């Protein structure tokens, strides 16, 4: 199972003088596309309410919430439902040329709970593969969706074996349906690594560079590379993908995991005929990890690709609009939701939008760009934290000691200055 999100303008961030309300309650890209890439004209909204619309490489969405690649985008019926409910965009479940090689098992999900209630679920594991539906069937449904929703953003998630001609054929056939962009699944953590698919590519930067070259030489729509978190330094494959021609990065896909062992049967979960296999971990428990990975990628993009038209789509444990705000504050242009849809349903997008607008109203933000990337400036090294704290302590000590000389008295601070030199 996969997931994703979309993008907007470059990492401008906010002025260092900008401050966020202390009582808030938590209840760079290319300047132009390559000659063969398609872009759409963008217009802006002037509503009095906070404007949630975002754009990425000319693709405009009414809000930054995108259905992540996985079960919520597995066929025409569910993708149509997502558009009708108001999602900003939809990324279909990953497709490849030969679906006959994709054989799923049941059960294929397991949950991590902190209690017995439905709301106590904090983690979700899957051992699900990419789409097992015939490619031709998926292509017909892509085409039908674009005919019925021509102004809505539909992204195809694709993955193929290590074959230049295979990738070229897949891209050509998918683009003929009219999809708006491609998300390349370089990150599925389980299933078919022997075919050099998914994370087997995303974890090998040399292989990734070669495959990205094939893809970007063929594609005529924007391309996003979806990153695996199952790697030491996620900025390395992200950098390779952008240098190889991709317009955007999506991060993160699921984290390789073993959900647990049933202490009565002594078998692992999810249990299939007494056996299991490691799978991808998602939902609320992964959000801190996802935020760190997104922060790392955003900092790299800002420093190395600041003047280029590159986008970042944040993924990982988003359940509320406030969660989404955190990803955007760390530089995400849009935010993908996959497991959250499986738990709360397609109508949950309305709650997400309302909560994100509530956050924006509390801080007087009018657009997503007003605060995107703002919190990146507050990350530093541990050595710098020590220096800053030492300086702050010295400053507070100096203030408590009072004035050093008569020349330091001021008219405006006279009373406070007097109190600073009183001992009782």
Phi first, then psi, for residue 179 (nearest 5°) are -60, 155
Torsions phi, psi for 99 (to 5 deg): -75, -15
Q: Is the omega angle on the peptide bond into residue 204 within 30 degrees of 0, that is, cis? A: no
Partnered with residue 312 across adjacent β-strands are 249
Q: Do 245 and 34 form a contact (C-beta atoms < 8 A)? A: yes
In terms of Cα–Cα distance, which of 222, 106, 215, 114 is closest to 163?
215
What CA–CA distances, in Å, run from 120 to 285, 341, 376? Answer: 11, 16, 31
Question: Is 188 among the catalytic positions?
Answer: yes
**Residues 53-71: b if buried by 16+ CB within 10 A, e if exposed:** bbbbbbbbbbbbbbbbbbb
Beta-carbon neighbour count of residue 114 at 10 Å?
11
CA atoms within 13 A on the CB side of 119: 0
Element housing 327 (H / E): helix 321-329
Residue 18 DSSP one-character state: -
To 10 degrees, what angle do helices 205-218 and 164-175 make? 40
Are 253 and 297 within 8 A, CB to CB? no
According to the 3-state scheme, what is the secondary structure of 252-315? Answer: CCCEEECCEECCCCCCEECCECCECCCEEEECHHHHHHHHHHHHHHHHHHHHHCCCCECEEEEE
Give CA separation, 233 vs 99, 117, 237, 241, 300, in Å: 32, 37, 8, 14, 11
CA 270 vs. chain centroid, Å, equals 26
Nearest to 333 by CA among 378, 298, 287, 281: 298
Q: Are 252 and 237 in contact (CB under 8 A)?
A: no
CA of 21: how far to CAs of 323, 363, 364, in Å?
17, 6, 9
The HSE-up count of residue 317 (CA atoms within 13 Å, CB side) is 19
Q: Which residues are catalytic?
A: 188
């Amino acid at each position: 199972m996969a997931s994703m999100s979309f993008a907007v303008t470059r990492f401008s961030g906010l002025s260092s003088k900008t401050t966020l309300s202390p009582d808030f309650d938590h209840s760079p890209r290319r300047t132009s596309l390559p000659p063969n890439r398609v872009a759409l004209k963008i217009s802006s909204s002037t509503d009095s309410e906070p404007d949630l619309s975002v754009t990425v490489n000319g693709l405009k969405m009414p809000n930054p919430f995108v259905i992540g690649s996985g079960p919520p985008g597995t066929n025409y019926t569910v993708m149509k439902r997502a558009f009708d409910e108001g999602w900003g965009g939809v990324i279909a479940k990953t497709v490849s040329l030969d679906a006959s090689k994709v054989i799923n098992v049941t059960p294929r999900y397991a949950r991590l709970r902190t209690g017995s209630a439905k709301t106590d679920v904090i983690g979700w594991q899957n051992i699900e593969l990419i789409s097992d539906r015939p490619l031709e069937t998926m292509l017909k449904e892509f085409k039908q969706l674009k005919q019925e929703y021509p102004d809505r953003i539909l992204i195809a998630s694709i993955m193929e074996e290590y074959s230049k001609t295979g990738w070229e054929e897949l891209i050509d056939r998918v683009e003929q349906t009219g999809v708006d962009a491609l998300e390349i699944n370089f990150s599925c953590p389980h299933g078919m690594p022997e075919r050099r698919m998914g994370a087997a590519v995303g974890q090998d930067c040399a292989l990734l560079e070669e495959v990205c070259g094939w893809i970007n030489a063929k594609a005529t729509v924007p391309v996003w590379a979806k990153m695996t978190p199952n790697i030491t330094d996620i900025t390395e494959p992200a950098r390779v993908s952008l240098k190889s021609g991709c317009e955007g990065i999506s991060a993160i896909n699921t984290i390789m995991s073993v959900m647990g062992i049933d202490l009565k049967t002594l078998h692992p979960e999810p249990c299939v005929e007494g056996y299991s296999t490691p799978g991808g971990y998602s939902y609320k428990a992964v959000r801190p990890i996802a935020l760190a990975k997104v922060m790392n990628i955003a900092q790299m993009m800002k420093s190395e690709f600041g003047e280029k038209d590159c986008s970042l789509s944040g993924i990982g444990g988003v359940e509320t609009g406030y969660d989404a705000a955190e990803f955007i504050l760390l530089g995400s242009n849009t935010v993908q939701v996959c497991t959250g849809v499986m738990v709360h349903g397609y109508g949950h997008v309305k709650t997400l939008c309302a909560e994100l607008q509530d956050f924006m109203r509390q801080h007087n933000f009018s657009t997503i760009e007003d605060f995107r990337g703002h919190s990146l400036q507050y990350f530093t090294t541990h050595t710098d934290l020590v220096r800053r704290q030492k300086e702050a302590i010295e400053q507070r000590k100096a203030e408590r000691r009072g004035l050093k000389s008569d020349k330091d008295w001021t008219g405006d601070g006279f009373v406070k200055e007097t109190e600073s030199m009183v001992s009782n």
